[in-house]
Amino acid sequence: MRMIFLFLLGLVVLASQAFSQEGLVKKEVLYNGIELPSPWPPRRTATEMKSFEPMAVPYLKNGPLVVPIDLGRQLFIDDFLIESTDLKRRFHQPKYHEKSPVLKPEMAWEKSKTTAFAAPFSDGVWFDSRQNRFMMWYRSATGRTCLAMSRDGIEWMRPDLDLEPASNVVLKSNRDAATVVLDHQTDDEKERFKLFEARTKKSPYHIALRVSSDGRKWSDEVKVSGPSWDRSTIFYNPFRGLWVASIRGHDHVGQEGVHRLRCYREGKDSRDVLGWRQHTDLVAKGDYIPGDLQPWVAADRLDPRNPDPRFKHIEPQLYNLDVFPYESLLVGLFTIWQGPDNETCQKLGIHKRNEVLVGFSRDGFHWDRSNRGRFIGVSEDPKAWNAGNVQSVGGGCLVVGDKLYFYCSGRTMQPADSGATGLATMRRDGFASMDASDVQGSLTTKLLRFSGSNLFVNLDSPKGELKVEVVDEKGKVLEDFSREKCLPLVGDGTKLMVRWHGGKDLSSLAGKPVRLRFYLTSGSLYSFWVGDANGASNGYVGAGGPGFKGNLDK
């Protein structure tokens, strides 16, 4: 009897171990091979948040052995894809369009006795392929939500809507910040557009969800969050099929009395994501309930300080974080506050210095912020429309031909307090490039796996050339895809196909782990991907753009 008991006990122990091991195996593995740690989301401590140190990015140190690349263009914004290289990474910034500001306060409802405002406060700029129009939701000086539309993203018109006579007002509620999302995933036509507005009927703020079929007529509030603050945003993470709240919180440290940072919550749908209970300030201090909001990310010692000597002592803070999917990763637009406080601004007749920096995430939580240059900055001209308080817009960017469009808000006090909408543009995939001089350099990727048949690159090399070879997992160059058989690629284009003598494509290598080795002279390599003969990447294109049916390049 004892022997039977011990035998059964042994089976229970083995089953328990097998369950534990199986549990480890069943950790969530992302589209790019990254295995999410447990618990998820990662629990950041109050000490980490207050350390003023840059956020660690675990997947850059312990990434997958083989990286799947079927989803999206593969960008060189970090070393995730790179095994070795002597090329030099260079980060790039968009430039303001010559017609900025593209929208400024001109109508009666965009002005009040003390200020004028016609700009998104996050809100959103999206391209709706059904209407074949750019759509911009923005805030007026009176707190109303308005809609502007455009054929080209540069010239904007205000449609006459029926909420208020002869105006483009879509909501009368006196709200603060808001986020608009064009939801391509929904099956409910009545909820194609979602608007999350920060409002307060009584203190504190809450985030209220409204829905719409066309972006013009909005429902009553269908869900209201727990307690919050004004400058909070919501975004959809399509890589995991989840909605994420980027919520303002304070840990009340720092020289300016209020220290802004971000709290995180993910939800299965647009209502669930608003289901937190705790006030964000308790969360930011580290006193939080697992499954509720939790500490996420803050500004750190590498963020820029105000260049004005009067304010150089002020530690930067994270004022807002808008997030959007682009190709194979998430891009974060970090609005960094550099002071001074509102009281000082009012006394001096200036706006606070907010500028937009950029970060990148491949797991949806950790941020690589190697680029600390000002991505969308303020003007040093005190009379410019963007003399102060430049902030990002919901939706992130749009793909317009070979360019990315980034909209932003900017403010000035001269001749009067006003806010307008600007446009900055850059090359498609243009966040970072790997550069070579007139001496040939090379870049070898980590092991990759793909199912496509044709290799494409985004390349700027009109006076140089690019060649590519394919290497198997043992380090052997595959003869049919050697550098010697590669046709030299010369030119400047955001979608150029790589070819080898004999006309062979990469279909014979589908599903096999291989490395790509790029040889580059006098040029810049921005991205690569393996797709069909048309060059579609199957990646995400931010808030869409002309030629895309939704927010995917397919």
pLDDT value of position 202? 66
pLDDT tens sequence across 273-304: 999 998 888 787 777 787 899 899 999 999 99
Top-confidence residue, 371 or 46? 371
pLDDT tens sequence across 214-231: 999 999 999 999 999 999
Top-confidence residue, 83 or 17? 83
DSSP secondary structure string, 500-522?
BTT---GGGGTTS-EEEEEEEES
Global pTM value: 0.94
Q: Say what the alpha-carbon torsion angle 111, 114, 120, 122 is, to the nearest 10 degrees.
A: -150
**DSSP tag of 499:** -
Q: Structure tokens of 281?
A: 């300030």
Provide mean pLDDT across the span 268-272. Answer: 97
- The topology under which CATH files domain 66-91+432-541 is Jelly Rolls (2.60.120)
pLDDT value of position 200? 77
Check pLDDT > 60 for residue 116.
yes
pLDDT band, residue 244 (cuts 50/70/90): very high
Calculate the average pLDDT of the chain.
92
pLDDT tens sequence across 372-387: 999 999 999 999 999 9
**Peptide bond preceding 295: is omega within 30 degrees of 0, i.e. cis?**
no
Residue 299's nearest CA partner among 269, 261, 332 is: 261
Q: What percent of the chain has pLDDT over 70?
A: 94
pLDDT tens sequence across 294-340: 899 999 999 999 999 999 999 999 999 999 999 999 999 999 999 99
Euclidean distance between CA atoms 310 and 269, whole angstroms? 46
First to last CA, the chain: 66
Residue 266's nearest CA partner among 339, 363, 174, 341 is: 363
Amino acid at the residue 357: L
Residue spans per domain, the chain = 66-91+432-541, 95-427
Residues linked to residue 124 through DSSP beta bridges, in sequence order: 137
CATH architecture of 95-427: 5 Propeller (2.115)
pLDDT band, residue 436 (cuts 50/70/90): very high
Q: What percent of the chain has pLDDT over 90?
A: 85
Provide mean pLDDT across the span 388-407. Answer: 98
Spatial contact of 337 and 258, defined as CB atoms under 8 Å apart = no
pLDDT value of position 355? 98
Euclidean distance between CA atoms 79 and 73, whole angstroms? 15
pLDDT value of position 21? 42
Residue 249's nearest CA partner among 222, 223, 276 is: 276
pLDDT value of position 22? 42
